[in-house]
């Protein structure tokens, strides 16, 4: 959940312009020996090849249609993984969040970066073959809730497909990077975006849309892979009843909504999880949270279908087949967009074809993949408190009554929090161990509902971050935010083992037939390998940065490689710092690899130097409310950033009202995503925000730390 509100000193602005701009040349031609290969070798992927591959390539986001992220390669195993070394690396030209899963086909690695850029490299040597920049307008970043990230491409029949942060779907020639076709996936000039990777099945490019924090009605689209023509579109919440419904599923869903939900779109955007099941010819889609988070429907008995659900659609025409709603009347930002894995499991002595998801809400679901019937739902992290469990007769969660926060109640500290017990970070299933490896988190969040308004620049939360901070202050505690790597036994619904990962996110996981589990150890900024059997760490390599994306493995000329995208902002002591180098790179390893990373660059020291306090109590209160709405989702609750965006307490622009307003109201940093807020804020509003951030900086400096506090 983020917005882009960057207040920088002149020197910091120059740094950001260099690091985050990213609009240099559109396409680079192939270079070197790889370019001399026959063009026909590039991107030769079809359904039969995905179904029958031997593991030499990584042909789709999850490697196979079942999204298991398991590699059958075993040249690297538990006995020799200690000999793993860096084979090559490629630096990216943007320092924003890096979440891409690479695709490798016939010796070429295709990977995306932030700002929806695409690169092709020789999988053996790292030589760049081509690069493509879709030139997303910097100001569009304000329409993306959670940074300008991208999670990867799809490759099919000589083309590479990428969704962009400004909601375009682009087909590139796999050999040259030249544009074959492009379409706009968004509708009605609304703030749509795309962050997830496309999938291609039977010549249809499947792509979801993001933006639940805005006025959006979520949908999944299918385009012809050859031409870009729209084949079908499936919506996940009903539209305006006065205009009729697209199908019976939408008509039925409308009966589960109250109020005027269509004015805010309803949410339900399928921004990540898309899984095709060849056995049933169904597409399983994870849908997003309801919009806004709170107060969107006056009746809590309404389920608000099909938000926070796993929905099965017919591949042929996109029509509804079945659904399972993980969180009815969802109020906690518990998207169901986490990866959906297909597998055949022996459960109670019976072989079942199942779909599995470790949900944001803290429960691990096992469903019958053909019907959506619930088989099990168990908490995979401790402390889940919004529910008292799932009634297996009805398949519905038993809601904790105290969790029903609204504007007349004192609020509720929910666990998990909005980041979730498991978010987009890929998990993997190892058929040899029967375990699912989940990059999990133990978190909570203080929910206090407030009435929203029609201000054009605000995300539709109806939740107060400053009010949530007051909940923690009253209980004399800090928000909970711990990483944990969980090995889960889905057949028996229990944890096999777990590894605490400190105050950091666990990276996406990969398992291999060599008995290995690969993931980012972000507490130490390493990429690491563990025993898939018992979780013993067997190898680690310095990444110099966070590794949160999903690793892959492939084979070229008989040599097995492991590749992962890295990039995150933190100082050597682990404290968030936007201006610290984040070392955005593609890292590729092999046995005996001897490449080395350049030495790390010291992070600039952040010094709190706020101007003298100013503003009345009324101004400070108003500034806190405005910051809460317009700034906090990027820059952190109560003026405390966590590294992906500048910490405004340190901003040089606090010193001068004109400098502050040049950025906030005149859009001086629009090309970096910090657009003008003049349609939503007045000069007096901007000055109240500056007063509030200044008060926060003064408090932090006097306490000699960066702990959160509420300005009263």
Helix residue ranges, H only, 426-570:
465-475
Is 557 in the active site?
no
Backbone angles phi, psi at 158, to 5 degrees: 85, 5
Buried-state track 419-441, b at ≥16 Cβ within 10 A, e below 16: bbbbbbbbbbbbeebbbbbbbbb
Gap between the Cα atoms of 476 and 472, Å rounded: 6
- Residues 220 and 78: their CA atoms lie apart, in Å, by 41
Long-range interactions of 299-302: CB distance < 8 A, separation 24+: 299/258, 300/329, 300/404, 301/329, 302/256, 302/257, 302/258, 302/329
Neighbours of 82 (CB within 10 A): 12
CA pair distance 669, 484, nearest whole angstrom:
37
Structure tokens, 236 = 């996940």
For the chain, how many residues are written?
712
Quote the distance between the C-alpha of residue 266 and its chain's center: 20
Tokens standing for residue 703: 């306490």
Phi and psi at residue 262, in whole multiples of 5°?
-65, -20
Contact 664, 693 (CB under 8 A): no
Catalytic: which of 57, 106, 277, 333? 333
Do residues 517 and 437 lie in contact, with contact meaning Cβ atoms separated by under 8 Å? Answer: yes
- Name the DSSP letter for residue 331: -
8 A C-beta contact, residue 197 and residue 188: no
Distance between CA atoms of residues 314 and 285, nearest Å: 11
d(CA 290, CA 42): 41
Q: Which residue has the tokens 């606090």?
A: 654
Residues noted as catalytic: 333
């Amino acid at each position: 959940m983020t917005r882009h509100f960057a207040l920088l000193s002149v020197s910091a602005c120059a740094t950001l312009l260099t690091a985050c701009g990213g609009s240099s040349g559109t396409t680079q031609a192939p270079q070197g020996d790889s370019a001399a290969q026959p063009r026909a070798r590039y991107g030769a992927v079809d359904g039969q090849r995905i179904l029958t591959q031997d593991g030499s390539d990584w042909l789709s986001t999850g490697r196979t249609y079942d999204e298991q992220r398991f590699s059958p390669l075993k040249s690297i195993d538990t006995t020799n993984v200690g000999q793993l070394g860096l084979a090559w690396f490629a630096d990216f030209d943007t320092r924003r969040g890096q979440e891409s899963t690479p695709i490798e086909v016939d010796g070429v690695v295709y990977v995306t970066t932030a700002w929806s850029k695409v690169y092709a490299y020789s999988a053996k040597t790292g030589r760049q073959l081509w690069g493509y920049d879709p030139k997303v307008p910097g100001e569009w970043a304000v329409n993306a809730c959670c940074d300008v990230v991208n999670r990867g491409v799809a490759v099919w029949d000589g083309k590479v497909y990428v969704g962009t942060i400004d909601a375009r779907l682009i087909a590139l020639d796999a050999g040259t990077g030249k544009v074959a076709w492009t379409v706009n996936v968004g509708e009605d000039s609304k703030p749509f975006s795309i962050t997830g990777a496309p999938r291609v099945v039977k010549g249809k490019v499947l792509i979801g849309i993001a933006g639940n924090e805005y006025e959006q009605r979520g949908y999944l689209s299918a385009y012809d892979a050859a031409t870009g023509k729209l084949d079908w579109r499936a919506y996940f919440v009903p539209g305006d009843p006065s205009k009729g419904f697209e199908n019976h599923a939408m008509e039925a869903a409308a009966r589960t909504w109250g109020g005027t939900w269509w004015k805010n779109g309803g949410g339900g955007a399928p921004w990540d999880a898309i899984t095709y099941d060849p056995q049933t010819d169904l597409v399983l889609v994870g849908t997003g949270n309801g919009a806004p988070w709170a107060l969107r429907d006056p009746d809590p008995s309404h389920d608000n279908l099909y938000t926070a659900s796993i929905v099965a659609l017919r591949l042929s025409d996109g029509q509804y087949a079945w659904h399972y709603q993980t969180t009815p009347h969802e109020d906690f930002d518990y998207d169901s967009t986490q990866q959906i894995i297909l597998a055949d499991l022996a459960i109670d002595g019976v072989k079942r074809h199942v779909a599995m998801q470790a949900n944001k809400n803290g429960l691990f679901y096992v469903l019958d993949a053909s019907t959506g019937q619930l088989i099990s739902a168990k908490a995979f992290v401790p402390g889940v408190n919004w529910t008292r469990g799932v009634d297996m007769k009805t398949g519905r969660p038993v809601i904790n009554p105290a969790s029903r926060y609204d504007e007349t109640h004192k609020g509720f500290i929910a666990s998990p929090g909005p980041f979730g017990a498991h978010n987009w970070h890929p998990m993997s299933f190892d058929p040899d161990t029967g375990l699912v490896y989940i990059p999990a988190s133990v978190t909570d969040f203080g929910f206090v509902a407030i009435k929203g308004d029609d201000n054009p620049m605000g995300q539709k939360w109806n939740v107060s971050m400053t009010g949530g901070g007051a909940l923690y202050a009253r209980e004399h505690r800090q928000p909970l935010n711990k990483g944990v790597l969980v090995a889960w036994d889905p057949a028996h619904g229990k944890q096999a083992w777990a590894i605490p990962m400190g105050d950091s996110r666990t990276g996406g996981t990969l398992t291999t037939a060599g008995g290995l589990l690969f993931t980012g150890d972000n507490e130490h900024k390493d990429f690491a390998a563990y025993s898939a059997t018992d979780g013993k760490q067997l190898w680690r390599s310095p990444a110099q940065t966070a590794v949160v994306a999903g690793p892959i493995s492939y084979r070229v000329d008989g040599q097995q490689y492991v590749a992962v995208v890295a990039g995150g902002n933190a100082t050597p002591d682990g404290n968030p710092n936007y201006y610290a180098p984040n070392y955005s790179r593609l890292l590729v390893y092999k046995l005996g690899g001897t490449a080395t990373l350049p030495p790390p660059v010291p992070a600039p020291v952040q010094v709190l130097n706020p101007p003298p306090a100013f503003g009345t109590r009324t101004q400070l209160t108003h500034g806190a409310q405005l910051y809460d709405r317009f700034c906090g989702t990027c820059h952190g609750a109560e003026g405390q950033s966590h590294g992906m965006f500048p910490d405004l307490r340190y901003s040089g622009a606090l010193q001068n009202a004109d400098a502050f307003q040049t950025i906030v109201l005149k859009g001086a940093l629009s090309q970096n995503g910090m657009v003008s807020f003049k349609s939503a804020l007045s000069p007096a509003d901007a000055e109240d925000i500056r007063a509030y951030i200044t008060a926060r900086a003064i408090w932090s400096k006097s306490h000699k730390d960066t702990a959160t506090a509420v300005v009263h």
